[in-house]
Amino acid sequence: MAGPNESFSVQGKLQTFTNAGDSGRKLNRKFCPRCGSMVVIEAEGFPGMALIMGGTLDDTSWLNPTMALFGDSAQPWLAITHDMKRFPRMPS
């Protein structure tokens, strides 16, 4: 099975903070050691998948969100459309 690092690349070195997610499974949160911005999450519950923080990309014009995670804690000003799949928390 291809791992997430085979599908994309990151320029520069990332630090990793590992903790348990809502499901109790391991999350590897990878962030910039200089500014602390989270760049990517690798979740044990989603093997082979990398959750990339869209705001860290140089070009976001091609992004078309199709789902919202942690909808229960979304800010009231965030527009979540009805055609998006919405999860109240991280799906297990």
Tokens at residue 2, please? 């291809």
Per-residue pLDDT of the chain (92 residues; tens, 9 = 90+): 345 556 677 888 999 999 998 778 899 999 999 999 999 988 888 888 888 888 888 888 888 877 777 778 778 887 777 777 877 777 66
Task: Report pLDDT for 1.
Answer: 37
What length does the chain have? 92
Half-sphere exposure of 54 (CA within 13 A, CB side): 8
Task: Report pLDDT for 2.
Answer: 43
Residue spans of the domains in the chain: they are 1-58, 62-92
Give me Rg for the CA atoms of the chain.
14
DSSP 58-83: S--TT----EESSGGG--TT----TT
**Distance (Å, whole) CA 67 – CA 51:** 12
**Distance (Å, whole) CA 25 – CA 28:** 10
